Structure 1
Amino acid sequence: MTRAKTKLFIIGGGGHSRVVIDSFRKSGSQIDGIVDPAYTKCENVVGIPVIGGDEALDTFSIDAIRLINGVGVLPGHLGRWKITERLRNRGFKFVTVIDPDAVVSSRVKVSEGVQVLAGCILQDGVTIGRDSVVNTGVILDHDCNLGEKCWISPGVTICGGTTIGSNAYIGTGATLIQNIRIGEGALIRAGTVVVEDVPPRTILK
């Protein structure tokens, strides 16, 4: 008996989702549907059909599908991460997405659900924890370490040996010098130049 092909669904049909879809399509892979209650069932987004809200997943065996989280993040908002945890707790697995146009060293380590988008440069020894997102044009130099559920906004530069704690948010265009530590849950505003350690859950403007 032929085993049924595993289906791939993306959560969310907004802007971040479309960027991730583009990255995934470049690799020649197919996304079978979009899960988003904001759209009418059978409507499509960039040519991919919307299958409904979370309830649509109940019609499939958990082992028969894989998910991508396409929901974006705003500073201080935890919706994306709550969606991931809710679905993972039900047994679903999340796909890692690395855009073919990203430059990624062979010694980079990424975990389940990580997204690395177009134009990123990830150098030797970089480690990225589960579900973290490295957005368009980010530079992670050698030996940087990102925890879980980090959101690195477009155009960020993080110099070598810097550690980013889990659940940190780094705003667009921020620059972090080498060998500093950003604490868990810290928020770095757009355009900030960071030259020293940032304590956990600190908002740096």
Structure 2
Amino acid sequence: MSSRPDAPLPEVLLYGNGQIARMLFHFMRPTHRVAAFTVDRALITDPAYEGVPIVPFEEIESLYPPGRYPMIIAVGFVDMNRIRAARYAAAKGKGYRFINYIHPSVVIHDNLKLGENTVLLDHVSVHPGTSIGNSTFICSNTNIGHGCRIGDNCWINAGVAIAGETTIGANTFIGINAAIGDNLQVAEACYIGASTLITRNTAPEEVYVSASGERFPLPSDRFLKFIERPRT
């Protein structure tokens, strides 16, 4: 992108009209101009979204031709990421190119292999030698170690830590603040819940969740007095 302050922003089409689309729209505003949103006709309830036209996906190529406008798919992890993967494939079938959105705070190493239609939000750290597939969404403050292989259509939530040389299979979901050990194989379509520690290989479609925090039998003001240390 040009460094001139008056240079026009590159235009992009954004598939989606839910919370993820809204979030990504606001992340992208400093660096891109969203020319239009698009979703399936049955999902449209208003002619505009966030002040931008929303166009039926069934006719998007006639109004915003693929030769001029690239696209990015802003859909969450619904149906273990399969909806996002299906919309990506459908748009690709219409001839669209895809961009990646990489927040300016992310450091990109020369030997990082990155697919298309992939999102890296703010303060993601990806160490050298890692590869990330197509249509994968990586949320804020995630750390991915050296030599990792992240498959297509994954969703990695905020604060996740993945140690070096680990493989994450396609369509896998990893919840907020989860931790994955080094040199592991997390198979495809696994669900790793929030704050869950993975220390061994997994099989396809397995689910790992950690216990929720327990309620302490005191109200908060009494609890603070209970744990308060005497001052010396």
Q: How high is the TM-score relative to the length of structure 2?
A: 0.78
Do the aligned partners of 1:23 and 1:100 also contact (CA within 8 Å) in 2?
A: no
- The 1:56–1:159 alpha-carbon spacing in structure 2 relative to 1, beyond 3 Å, is same
The CA distance in 1 between the partners of 2:127 and 2:11, in whole Å, is: 32
Residue 6 of structure 1 and its aligned partner are, at CA, apart by 7.8
Q: Partner residue of 2:88?
A: 84
Q: Which residue among 200, 207, 212 is the counterpart of 1:203?
A: 207
After TM superposition, the structure 1 = structure 2 runs for residues 10-21 of structure 1, keeping only pairs within 5 Å, are 10-21=14-25
After TM superposition, the structure 1 = structure 2 runs for residues 155-166 of structure 1, keeping only pairs within 5 Å, are 155-166=159-170
Q: Partner residue of 2:145?
A: 141
The CA distance in 2 between the partners of 1:102 and 1:108, in whole Å, is: 12
Do the aligned partners of 1:39 and 1:50 also contact (CA within 8 Å) in 2?
A: no
Q: Partner residue of 1:38?
A: 44
Residue 108 of structure 1 and its aligned partner are, at CA, apart by 1.6
Sequence identity percentage: 23
- Structure 1, unaligned stretches of length 5 or more? none
Q: How high is the TM-score relative to the length of structure 1?
A: 0.87
- Structure 2, unaligned stretches of length 5 or more? 1-8, 210-232
- The 1:76–1:61 alpha-carbon spacing in structure 2 relative to 1, beyond 3 Å, is closer
Do the aligned partners of 2:13 and 2:71 also contact (CA within 8 Å) in 1?
A: yes
Q: What amino acid maps onto 1:156 in structure 2?
A: V
Q: Partner residue of 1:98?
A: 102
Aligned residues: 197
CA deviations on 1:43-62 (whole Å, 9 max, x unpaired) are 231x4x12322134132332
2:58 is aligned with 1:52: no
Secondary structure of the residue that 2:29 maps to in structure 1? helix
Q: Which residue among 4, 22, 27 is the counterpart of 1:23?
A: 27
Q: What amino acid maps onto 2:151 in structure 1?
A: G
Structure with greater Cα Rg:
2
Q: Partner residue of 1:68?
A: 72
Do the aligned partners of 2:10 and 2:32 also contact (CA within 8 Å) in 1?
A: no
Show structure 1 runs of 4+ deviating over 6 A.
none
Q: Which structure is richer in relative contact order (CA contacts within 8 A, separation 6 or more)?
A: 1
Do the aligned partners of 1:33 and 1:51 also contact (CA within 8 Å) in 2?
A: yes
2:185 is aligned with 1:181: yes
Do the aligned partners of 2:85 and 2:153 also contact (CA within 8 Å) in 1?
A: yes
CA deviations on 1:120-174 (whole Å, 9 max, x unpaired) are 1111111101111111211101111111111111111101111111111111211
Q: Which residue among 116, 121, 126 is the counterpart of 2:120?
A: 116
CA deviations on 1:52-77 (whole Å, 9 max, x unpaired) are 22134132332122111111124635
